[in-house]
Amino acid sequence: GAVVSQHPSRVICKSGTSVKIECRSLDFQATTMFWYRQFPKQSLMLMATSNEGSKATYEQGVEKDKFLINHASLTLSTLTVTSAHPEDSSFYICSASRAGGPNNSPLHFGNGTRLTVT
């Protein structure tokens, strides 16, 4: 089955530093990847849609300069949280869908990254 690898699974960083999260589709090509954020006991909030070879599309209210997204290849997208603050602490999840797949292709999720900013 389709596998999406997300790294790191947990990261603790100090306020003001930057953190990079990687999302890789291991056995399929993904022209589009999605980055979500999830607070405890809440639903997934779409942050941005990452398109290979072009600029990411950010959802309303998400600062593109703070959450830098790079999708340089068909199998890798990265999210960098710049100048992290404690309020950025959250569970970040990436997902991808198989390029050229049928209309009912499911989203495959990475295992998520729990970010704690101290």
Q: What angle do CA 112, 53, 89 make, to 5 degrees?
A: 25
Q: Which is nearest to 85 in space by CA: 20, 15, 32, 29?
A: 15
Q: Give the one residue of 34, 35, 58, 67 binding other proteins; rule: CB under 8 A.
A: 34
Q: Give the one residue of 83, 106, 116, 118 binding other proteins; rule: CB under 8 A.
A: 106
> Looking at beta carbons only, is 32 or 82 nearer to other proteins?
32
Sign of CA dihedral 10, 19, 72, 98: positive
Mapped onto helix, strand or coil, the DSSP state of residue 62 is coil
Q: Which of these ranges, 12-20, 68-76, 79-87, 98-106, lies near other proteins under the rule CB under 8 A? A: 98-106
Per CB under 8 A, residues contacting other proteins are: 6, 32, 34, 41-44, 46, 49, 93, 95, 97, 103-112, 114
